[in-house]
Amino acid sequence: MSETELSTPTGETRTALVRRARTMHKVLAETYPDAHCELDFTTPLELVVATILSAQCTDRRVNLVTPALFARYRDAAAYAGADRMELEELIRSTGFYRNKATSVIGLGQSLVGRYSGEVPGRLEDLMTLPGVGRKTANVVLGNAFDVPGLTVDTHFGRLVRRFGWTTETDPDKVEAEIATLFVRKDWTMLSHHVIWHGRRRCHAKKPACGACPLARLCPSYGAGPTDPVEAAKLVTIEGPR
């Protein structure tokens, strides 16, 4: 069996799937030209901390918390020596604040102890840090170091399955499979475009199919309202950050 005949989630040839996936990304890029990481940050350390806080929390809530947090703790040493009760109070509204405080303090200690207080720019090193898994590492690499990475969050995972790009549910397997469909330099912006689409149109329970620029390319068209007027009511200008 040739490469072009290999089975795919939608029964397309491999070549057809790659072509459709890349066309869909081109449409998303045109639809969301301003797509970017929606966590506010100015340094790699700020982005690591913000991403840790974003677990089970909206970006909007994190962005409300981080100005005071970043002003109080300006470097890794400050986090390493943070008073736990004070830190917990500052991040309490992000949820799971005790576990997050443990991760953030541990992060500071690890950076000071092993990386001279600086956030490393390699995936392997980032993943050794407390509170940093593969998803967080890819967020930091792509947005703080300009190193291409795929961010497989909840939105990304459900959309690439809805698009018929993969049937995998394990984030690492999703990342590996989607990486084969696109050139490496596009990975970071692909993540932003897909996530923005998931937050603004392709909602989990009721996607705005009738107002979707991907309608003709999506095998899941019809999962939500196809009437343009009804679908348009579901579209949000800003995602639920």
For residue 187, the number of C-alpha atoms closer than 13 Å in the C-beta half-sphere is 24
- Can you list the pairs that 80-85 forms with residues at least 24 positions away whose Cβ atoms lie under 8 Å? 80/105, 80/108, 80/109, 80/111, 80/112, 81/108, 82/108
Is residue 197 within 8 Å of residue 220, measured between CB atoms?
Answer: no
The three-class DSSP label of residue 167 is coil
Could you say which of 135, 170, 172, 186 is catalytic?
135
Phi, psi (rounded to 5 degrees) for 203: -65, 155
- Whether 173 is catalytic is no
- Whether 206 is catalytic is no
Could you say which of 40, 125, 153, 206 is catalytic?
153
- Rounded alpha-carbon distances, angstroms, from residue 179 to 26, 144, 162, 215, 238: 16, 20, 17, 23, 27
- Rounded alpha-carbon distances, angstroms, from residue 211 to 26, 46, 82, 204: 17, 36, 48, 15
Q: Which two tokens stand for residue 221?
A: 């068209």
Residues labelled catalytic: 135, 153
